[in-house]
Amino acid sequence: MEYYPLQEYKDYDCQILINATPIGMDPNIDEMPIKKEYLQKDMVVMDVVYNPLKTRLLKEAEDIGCITIGGVSMFVHQGVAQFELWTGKKAPVDVMRKTVLDALQKT
């Protein structure tokens, strides 16, 4: 697997794009880590930003037909792993997801 810095992104063809930067996070919700024209239909695009729930990157990717994954998924599953590691019990994933979504929708 290869990694490319965002400033070089335009020069590469890829099937998966993961934004692991704070670009697009509240209050800078109009920013994107790459230009819209670099997104390709059927790419998988994940944005680890979870506030806002749907970043501009995810909206633009959805609009052209990409498969998108929001940051809440990673946020919740980090908590799941921690819960299970610390308690030795199965984490209540659905309850955790609902709690996170409820809290973020209030902001």
Q: State how far the alpha carbon of 6 is from the alpha carbons of 10, 33, 104, in Å.
A: 8, 7, 28
Q: What angle do CA 12, 53, 5 make, to 5 degrees?
A: 20
**In which domain, by residue range, is 12 found?**
6-106
10-57 per-position pLDDT tens digit: 666 789 999 999 999 999 999 999 889 889 998 999 999 999 999 999
Structural domains counted in the chain: 1
Residue 61 lies in a domain: yes
- With a CB cutoff of 8 Å and minimum separation 6, the contacts of 86 are none
Q: What is the CATH number of the domain that holds 41?
A: 3.40.50.720
Tokens 């990694």 belong to residue = 3
Whether the full predicted model's pTM is greater than 0.85, yes or no, is no
